[in-house]
Homo-oligomer: A and B are copies of this chain.
């Protein structure tokens, strides 16, 4: 989470990095009261054990390919694939290739 997040109306680059990906390529892109968007960078072979987001989550694969497990189902997401999960649904994932994901989290309402 290396750079400060964007201000309103400020253009943010979410293009593929198109190079070897390191975990520290992850970046918080947008943070508002109710919503966060970040780029999640996953080198090939990186696994994220089952966990839950802080609220509804949208994942968009920007580059690479991941195996995504939720609701008892394993699916492959490649660049251009998106899905969402309801509030705090448990999920896990494995990077099948160097991958980056755009993750949007709608923070749970008080």
Contact = CB atoms under 8 A, between A and B. Distances in A.
26 contacts: A6-B83, A8-B83, A8-B84, A8-B89, A9-B70, A9-B75, A9-B85, A10-B83, A11-B77, A11-B81, A11-B83, A13-B80, A13-B81, A13-B82, A14-B80, A14-B81, A15-B79, A16-B80, A29-B82, A30-B82, A32-B56, A32-B86, A34-B106, A34-B109, A35-B58, A104-B104
Interface residues of A, number: 37
A9 B106 contact: no
A84 B37 CA distance: 10
Interface of A is mostly: strand
Closest 7 CB pairs of A and B: A15-B80, A12-B82, A14-B82, A8-B86, A9-B71, A11-B81, A9-B70
